[in-house]
Amino acid sequence: MKEKLKKISVLGAGSWGTTLAIILSENRNLRITLWSVFEEQVKKILITRENKDFLPSVKIPLKIEVTSNLKIGLDSELLILAIPVQYLRSILRKIKKESLNLKEKIFLTTAKGVEIDTFKTPTQIIKEELKVKKIAVLSGPTIAKEVIKGLPTVATVASKDEEISLAIQNIFKSTNLRIYRSQDIKGVELAGALKNIIAIACGVADGLGLGINAKASLVVRGIVEIVRLAKKLGAQPETFWGISGLGDLVTTCFSSYSRNRFVGQEIGKGKKLKDILKKMKMVAEGVTTVKAIYKLSKRLKIDMPITKEVYLLLYKDKNPFQAVRDLTKRPFKSE
């Protein structure tokens, strides 16, 4: 990529999309657009210069163009798709109708999950819907509320095209977000999706008051079953011990900001999933991901005991204490 990126659009004005737009706007050489599908949300942001629903008390610089006009949102060289995976396909179809000039644009997805019905990852959905090749994924231990405070953070960008990865590293060079490169797109995407299931399990342990020993056990045994599935799907095992794997897993399992850990915590306290989700403004991707991964693991005959118990807790109202007993009473085996 001979020329540096100058025009960037963030599609999706949740907490992470808004955070990315703000930190990128610190670069004087970049023109930043923040697009939302929700007109009312855009109107509120334009009046207050705050995203009160997802990132309250943080000012959105005037330099950032905020819009619900998709044509304006697509007028950039780099499109950052900060859209939950279950809604991604519908947004991509809107994009396809709006613009025919997509092949030269770079699509960078930040979603962490898989589509329930198809088991497909975000980059697979992008390829299928838009027939484009310039695709990358950004993932890692990136809690938006910490990044927006300027706290040091690392993440991984994965692309088959090294020039795309280098260009994305370059746009973040003046921010507190340090980016590392990878070519294992499948591994980085699966790591980001599957760790949310383990985070829910760790949240259940918190809700039950089981202590750090139990959570550590869930993390280490969780990554074992994650890698077991990922290898079967063609990912590189070493990816799961890096930033987008173990790094993101630990952060999501222990952070008080983690939405997935929170869901598990409330389940552990005896609350029902539908009641928990009603009170949440933001999406906990693991809630839908576990449904897809449980079905996939059964189809592929891969042993994923933690995933199985999380699925039963969320969708079959299994007693949390019984889930713990069933995990701890499994037959002995070698590590």
Structure confidence by residue, pLDDT tens digits, 122-133: 999 999 999 999
Structure confidence by residue, pLDDT tens digits, 169-200: 999 998 999 999 999 999 999 999 999 999 99
**Which residues make Cβ contacts (< 8 Å) with residue 236, sequence separation at least 6?**
184, 187
* Domain match, 37 and 80 both: yes
* Domain match, 221 and 252 both: yes
How far does CA 30 lie from the centroid of its chain? 24
Task: Assess contact for 51 and 34: CB atoms under 8 A.
Answer: no
> What does the alpha-carbon distance between residue 264 and residue 229 come to, in Å, rounded to a whole number?
22
Which candidate, 129, 11, 12, places its Cα nearest to that of 75?
Answer: 11
Q: What residue ranges in the chain does DSSP mark as E strands?
A: 7-11, 31-35, 50-51, 55-59, 65-67, 78-81, 106-109, 135-139, 153-158, 177-182
Tokens 């695709």 correspond to: 135
Tokens, residue 241: 């011990």
* Domain match, 289 and 151 both: no
303 in any annotated domain: yes
Q: Which of 112, 120, 134, 195 is catalytic?
A: 195
* Domain match, 162 and 234 both: no
Whole-structure pTM value: 0.94
Does 279 score more than 60 pLDDT?
yes
SS3 for 211? helix
1 in any annotated domain: no
Structure confidence by residue, pLDDT tens digits, 92-111: 999 999 987 899 999 999 99
So what's the pLDDT on residue 3? 54
The CATH number of whichever domain residue 106 belongs to comes to 3.40.50.720
Structure confidence by residue, pLDDT tens digits, 219-241: 999 999 999 999 999 999 999 99
Above pLDDT 90, what percent of the chain? 95
> What does the alpha-carbon distance between residue 20 and residue 26 come to, in Å, rounded to a whole number?
10
* Domain match, 179 and 204 both: no
* Domain match, 171 and 70 both: yes
Average pLDDT, stretch 71-90?
97
> What does the alpha-carbon distance between residue 309 and residue 327 come to, in Å, rounded to a whole number?
8
**Which residues make Cβ contacts (< 8 Å) with residue 275, sequence separation at least 6?**
none
Average pLDDT, stretch 67-84?
97
Give, in order, the Cα–Cα distances in Å from 17 to each of 82, 102, 138, 280: 5, 21, 12, 18
Does 1 score more than 60 pLDDT?
no
Provide the domain count of the chain.
2
141 in any annotated domain: yes
Does 277 score more than 60 pLDDT?
yes
334 in any annotated domain: no
Does 290 score more than 90 pLDDT?
yes
* Domain match, 114 and 204 both: no
So what's the pLDDT on residue 100? 78
Tokens 């383990």 correspond to: 198
231 is catalytic: no
333 in any annotated domain: no
Task: Assess contact for 179 and 155: CB atoms under 8 A.
Answer: yes
188 in any annotated domain: no
Which candidate, 2, 66, 64, places its Cα nearest to that of 35?
Answer: 66
Phi and psi for 209 in degrees, rounded to 5?
A: 70, 40
The CATH number of whichever domain residue 309 belongs to comes to 1.10.1040.10
The residue out of 143, 164, 183 marking a domain boundary is 183
Above pLDDT 70, what percent of the chain? 99
Task: Assess contact for 169 and 231: CB atoms under 8 A.
Answer: no
Does 10 score more than 60 pLDDT?
yes
335 in any annotated domain: no
Q: What angle do CA 266, 218, 307 make, to 5 degrees?
A: 75
* Domain match, 164 and 268 both: no
For residue 38, the enclosing domain spans 7-183
* Domain match, 29 and 100 both: yes
The residue out of 183, 214, 245 marking a domain boundary is 183
So what's the pLDDT on residue 264? 98
* Domain match, 179 and 202 both: no
* Domain match, 33 and 169 both: yes
Strand order in the sheet with 65-67: 65-67, 31-35, 7-11, 78-81, 106-109, 135-139, 153-158, 177-182
The residue out of 145, 163, 183 marking a domain boundary is 183
96 in any annotated domain: yes
Q: Please tell me the number of Cα atoms within 13 Å of 198 on its side-chain side.
A: 31
* Domain match, 27 and 156 both: yes
**What's the whole-number average pLDDT of the chain?**
96
| Helix (H) or strand (E) run with residue 209 in it | none
